[in-house]
Amino acid sequence: MCDQTFVAITFGPCDSCSQNKPLMNIYLQNEPVNYCSLCVELMACQGLAKGETVSTLRAESENLKAKLEEERAKLHDVELHQVAEKVETLGQFVIKTRRTLKGHGNKVLCMDWCRDKRRMVSSSQVIMRSAAVCVLQEHAVTMPCTWVMACAYAPSGCVIACGGLDNKCSVYPLSLDKNENLAAKKKSVAMHTNYLSACSFTNSDMQLLTSSGDGTCALWDVESGQLLQSFHGHSADVLSLDLAPSETGNTFVSGGCDKKANVWDMRSGQNIQSFETHESDINSCRLYDLRADREVAIYSKESIIFGASSVDFSLSGRLLFAGYNDYNINVWDVLKGTRVAILFGHENRVSTVRVSPDGTAFCSGSWDNTLDFNPV
């Protein structure tokens, strides 16, 4: 964890050598201790004495990464698309945008479906909106911060969570009364030390999982606001997270600016597996197989020169929808690795793509201030 050093004018017995000297209040492993300046120096030198410099550590890290790749390579006996040759080819993929939702006055940054498959919540630079796609009824909540980067619907459909540059994730109970001031019922749940990048309820309305620019993910109890578990392991901002689809779900994956995708055990806080991509890996989407512990497919084309910002699977997992910074959505055949469709519907970056819970539609949000709703 972090070591922080403060200088304070206290005089007394040193916690290390027991001599009476001017003391420095320092934190070791998050515990406050008082060391005299000589002991602080000695402690700092101990690290160096063992020859443990940044470069030796880096070398050890590279060695371990190479060893890990070696172990993974031993089991890389075939490619996914080769195994998928026997799979029936997909028919032509045709979809039309049925409705464009224009309620946001700013870039749409995030959206989530309600489990009732008829409602969605979306957030933008200033406002969070919840809209029903069949019934044109909307709630809008003005947020006190700019850039509401994350929003999520609770499983019950009665509560919405969102946050962004305010470093918090707050929950809002929804009401049928359009005129009710939702902002007044806001309750802050998660507190990070940097922006909130993503949030998701677990299988219940009672727990909220968040990821942040502070490099951590965290699990919170919604009622009390208590931190139940924190997840440390990323060495840079965490940008996204997703829970494993399971009734007894206990794992989730997070993606960070450190180019890693980490798989976490929610109960222990442990990082179970981690996948790292390389410098040259931009503008592609990749499929990682958790049991084979490796990447098994890459979805890219030379003609695609912009990165993808958001991905989601269709219900069966056969199709992968990815929204790109070149304003398009590419639909990929997950097993064969080929592209089955390009959807042109937006006039700016696509920031979020989500398939509905029953798989009958998908929705895309964009920096062109709109959401495109595409049903079967």
Partner 1 sequence: MARDMSDKDILKMEIEQLQKEVKNTREPVSKTAKELCEFVEAQSAEDPLIKGVPEDKNPFKEKGGCIIT
Q: Smallest distance, Å, CB 307 to partner 1?
A: 22
Q: Among the residues of 24-127, which ranges form H helices?
A: 37-49, 54-74, 80-83
Which residue lies nearer to partner 1 by CB, 232 or 301?
232
Q: Pick the closest to residue 111 from 327, 367, 352 (CA basis).
A: 352
Q: What is the Cα–Cα distance from 324 to 191, expressed in whole angstroms?
A: 30
Burial of 254 (0-12, 13-18, 19+ CB in 10 A): buried
The three-state secondary structure class of 59 is: helix
Q: Give the pair of three-digit tokens for residue 256.
A: 């960070």
Residue 175 · residue 157 · CB < 8 Å: no
Q: Give the pair of three-digit tokens for residue 173.
A: 């109970």
Q: Smallest distance, Å, CB 197 to partner 1?
A: 13
Q: Smallest distance, Å, CB 298 to partner 1?
A: 14
Which residue lies nearer to partner 1 by CB, 7 or 64?
64
Cβ neighbours for 94, distance < 8 A, ≥ 6 positions apart = 341
Which residue lies nearer to partner 1 by CB, 4 or 188?
4
Beta bridge partners of 129: 122, 140
Which residue lies nearer to partner 1 by CB, 9 or 78?
78
Q: How many CA atoms lie within 13 A of 202 on its CB side?
A: 20
Which residue lies nearer to partner 1 by CB, 141 or 196?
196
Q: Smallest distance, Å, CB 286 to partner 1?
A: 14
Q: Smallest distance, Å, CB 77 to partner 1?
A: 5
Q: Smallest distance, Å, CB 292 to partner 1?
A: 4
Which residue lies nearer to partner 1 by CB, 2 or 184?
2
Q: Smallest distance, Å, CB 268 to partner 1?
A: 12
Q: Smallest distance, Å, CB 99 to partner 1?
A: 9
| Residue indicated by tokens 């840079």 | 236
Residue 138 · residue 151 · CB < 8 Å: no
Q: Smallest distance, Å, CB 155 to partner 1?
A: 20
Which residue lies nearer to partner 1 by CB, 264 or 367?
264
106 Cα distance to chain centroid? 22
Q: What is the Cα–Cα distance from 64 to 58, expressed in whole angstroms?
A: 10
Q: What is the Cα–Cα distance from 280 to 177, expressed in whole angstroms?
A: 51
Q: What is the Cα–Cα distance from 150 to 199, expressed in whole angstroms?
A: 6
Q: Pick the closest to residue 208 from 194, 193, 226 (CA basis).
A: 226
Q: Pick the closest to residue 155 from 123, 122, 112 (CA basis).
A: 112
Q: Smallest distance, Å, CB 113 to partner 1?
A: 13
Q: What is the Cα–Cα distance from 293 to 77, expressed in whole angstroms?
A: 13
Which residue lies nearer to partner 1 by CB, 141 or 238?
238
Which residue lies nearer to partner 1 by CB, 7 or 376?
376
Q: Pick the closest to residue 6 from 39, 35, 38, 49 (CA basis).
A: 35
Which residue lies nearer to partner 1 by CB, 118 or 186?
118
